[in-house]
């Protein structure tokens, strides 16, 4: 892309894992990227991986409406428009806690981050994409294999990822009139800090522990870039990218 064609993206959760991989992939492809996350230092580390590319790090807690508003205001001021939101920020919450023992505060934290945060970012992006000239843009939500099949003792995470699918479908429908496309990528076992425990063993539906295969997060990033660079007349509504031999088909 030359400077005239440069597109603008917001990537949430850009300080680590899949968010970092996607941000780096887009920056290397010529996008300008606003890097959003709760801690400034990891965002700066992400930006430093592609120092020649235009990026801005904006410390943002996506569960706070005022911080989300500030994020998108800074994007509008710095870049003038928005072509892509990768709605990625999320947390698994406390792992291995039985339903009957899960504290409401822990449930609320996962819901506030994974669902409410995704809504707030999507709403802000939708507003900007609707108002800008030329109108339109794309929102890609990070779902999960857990949007389809849960892991044991993951009720908060699984509930939010199922809800993410509804968010995606509603945004896709409501965005048609404004050239706003929305799709979802459901990811299974990308090698990140969040999945590092899989190398030691992950609880299975039958109560056993099993070491599960993982895949490189770069392969997720390539898929997001493909979705992002489609013309707005085309959309990947749902994509599943997973470690080939992970227990999803046949899980349970």
pLDDT at 178: 98
Span 78-87, average pLDDT: 97
pLDDT of 12-42, one tens digit each?
999 999 999 999 999 999 999 999 999 999 9
DSSP bridge pairs for 186 = 240
Torsion of CA 131, 24, 237, 134, to 10 degrees: 20
Q: How confident is the model at residue 5 (pLDDT cuts 50, 70, 90)?
A: low
What stretches of 29-104 adopt beta strand conformation (E)?
32-37, 55-59, 84-87
Q: What percent of the chain has pLDDT above 70?
A: 95
Span 205-214, average pLDDT: 86
Span 210-217, average pLDDT: 90
Q: How confident is the model at residue 202 (pLDDT cuts 50, 70, 90)?
A: confident
The domain segmentation of the chain, as residue ranges, is 3-242
CATH architecture of 3-242: 3-Layer(aba) Sandwich (3.40)
Phi, psi of 83 (to 5 degrees): -105, -25
Q: How confident is the model at residue 215 (pLDDT cuts 50, 70, 90)?
A: very high
Q: Return the active site residues.
A: 157
Better-predicted residue by pLDDT, 205 or 183:
183
> Rounded CA gap, 250 and 37, in Å?
35
Judge if pTM exceeds 0.85: yes
């Amino acid at each position: 892309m030359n400077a005239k064609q440069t597109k603008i993206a917001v990537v949430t959760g850009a300080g680590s894992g899949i968010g970092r991989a996607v941000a780096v992939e887009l920056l290397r492809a010529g996008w300008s990227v606003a890097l959003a996350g709760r801690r400034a230092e990891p965002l700066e580390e992400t930006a430093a991986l592609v120092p020649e590319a235009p990026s801005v790090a904006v410390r943002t807690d996506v569960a706070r409406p005022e911080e989300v508003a500030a994020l998108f205001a800074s994007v509008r001021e710095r870049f003038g428009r928005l072509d892509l939101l990768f709605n990625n920020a999320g947390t698994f919450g406390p792992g291995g806690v039985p339903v009957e023992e899960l504290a409401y505060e822990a449930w609320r934290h996962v819901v506030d981050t994974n669902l409410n945060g995704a809504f707030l970012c999507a709403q802000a992006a939708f507003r900007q994409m609707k108002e800008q000239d030329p109108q339109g843009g794309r929102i890609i939500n990070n779902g999960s294999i857990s949007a389809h099949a849960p892991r044991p003792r993951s009720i908060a995470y699984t509930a939010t990822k199922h809800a993410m699918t509804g968010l995606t479908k509603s945004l896709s429908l409501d965005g048609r009139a404004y050239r706003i496309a929305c799709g979802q990528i459901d990811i299974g076992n990308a090698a990140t800090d969040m999945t590092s425990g899989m190398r030691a063993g992950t609880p299975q539906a039958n109560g056993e522990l099993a070491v599960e295969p993982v895949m490189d997060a770069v392969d997720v990033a390539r898929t997001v870039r493909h979705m992002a660079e489609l013309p707005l007349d085309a959309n990947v509504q749902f994509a599943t990218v997973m470690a080939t031999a992970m227990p999803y088909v046949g899980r349970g």
